[in-house]
Amino acid sequence: MTIKQRGVLNSLSMFDCYMSASELANDELRELVRNQLARYHVQPGIEGRLSWGVTDAGRAISQRIKRGAL
């Protein structure tokens, strides 16, 4: 896992975020979704805005990183 992926996973474990176009286009960050550590979702009532958040597996890994286990 890269430093950028660790940072994004840490942020997503605190709160869901809107995705920017550059985040959506970034292969390194999309890898978090492909590995089921993060997920995409649509905010109700906000048309065309994609958000993302951490999955349970991503939250567990983020906590291990914070403790220094990974």
- Tell me: pLDDT of 38 over 90: yes
Give the per-residue pLDDT at 26: 93
Answer for the pair 13, 65: CB distance below 8 angstroms, yes or no.
Answer: no
Q: How far is CA 27 from CA 17, 22, 30, 31, 69, in A?
A: 18, 10, 5, 6, 26
Answer for the pair 57, 34: CB distance below 8 angstroms, yes or no.
Answer: no
Give the per-residue pLDDT at 69: 84
Mean pLDDT over 7-34 rounds to 90
Mean pLDDT over 2-12 rounds to 92
Answer for the pair 49, 18: CB distance below 8 angstroms, yes or no.
Answer: yes
Mean pLDDT over 28-46 rounds to 87
Give the per-residue pLDDT at 44: 73
